[in-house]
Amino acid sequence: DREKEGGAMINIALPKGRLGEQVYTLLEKAGCPCPSIREENRRLVFENEEAGVRYFWVKPSDVGIYVERAAADIGVAGRDILLEYQPEVYELADLGVGRCRMCVAGRKGVRERPRQTLRVATKFPNIASRYYSALSRDIEIIKLHGSIELAPLLGLSDVIVDIVETGKTLLENGLELRETVVPISARLIANKVSYKFKHEEISRLCREVSALCRGEEEA
């Protein structure tokens, strides 16, 4: 098979969901097609031996772990995930897709009490802690796993640190954006050892995907 012939198989971790599907379209155009991936089923692994590529659908927040531990050679992860978990990987390219912002939001019209410990609900405790520590602001983190916008509505927290894309979720829940913590977009990442041993394949893919992204931005 291919690995014995010398051409290395590239293992790619894709974030399950809309972003992953968008990224797969880019990789397909970059010469890594795997048509079976578009068939609707519950499989998590898809392979195209001829193209030398194997895809995995991974929970978005786990992509860094798969790549760091070499279960995947490369992967695509939001900058939010990279900042939160800080995996030991190479960041090869900003794909420019999946653009959104990490923000602080709170209930519309409700002011924070400056001298009291701020209760912050978030899925991103490390990002939130670093942000407030740079501002020397005392906070208490309330770690949640989803529907973060509920927390200030129910008095569970004073503010949230969460992803804002269109702002619709904030608007429809009576919340307002207070501060932008950091802009987010999807990044192509690589395992450090794979990057060395599959250098040719990975850098070719990176070049082609980057060129496609630039093309889309200019269009």
How far, in Å, CA of 97 to CA of 48, rounded? 25
Q: Does residue 167 touch ligand PRP according to CB under 6 A? A: yes
Q: Does residue 80 touch ligand PRP according to CB under 6 A? A: no
Q: Are 194 and 202 in contact (CB under 8 A)?
A: yes
How far, in Å, CA of 37 to CA of 24, rounded? 9
Q: Does residue 166 touch ligand PRP according to CB under 6 A? A: yes
Q: Which of 51, 82, 163, 212 binds ligand PRP (CB under 6 A)?
A: 163
Indicate the SS3 state at residue 110: coil
**Applying CB under 6 A, what is the total number of residues that bind ligand PRP?**
12
How far, in Å, CA of 64 to CA of 58, rounded? 10
How many other CB atoms sit within 10 Å of the CB of residue 182?
13
- Please, which residue, 149 or 201, has the CB nearer to ligand PRP? 149
- Please, which residue, 20 or 52, has the CB nearer to ligand PRP? 20
Q: Does residue 164 touch ligand PRP according to CB under 6 A? A: yes
- Please, which residue, 30 or 58, has the CB nearer to ligand PRP? 58
Binding mask 135-154 for ligand PRP (x = CB under 6 A): -----------xxxx-----
Q: Which residues contact 179 (CB under 8 A, 6 or more apart)?
A: 103, 104
CB of 166 to ligand PRP, least distance (A): 3
Residue 172 tokens read as: 């429809």
Amino acid letter for position 84: E
Q: Does residue 162 touch ligand PRP according to CB under 6 A? A: yes
Question: Applying CB under 6 A, which residues contact ligand PRP?
Answer: 146-149, 162-169
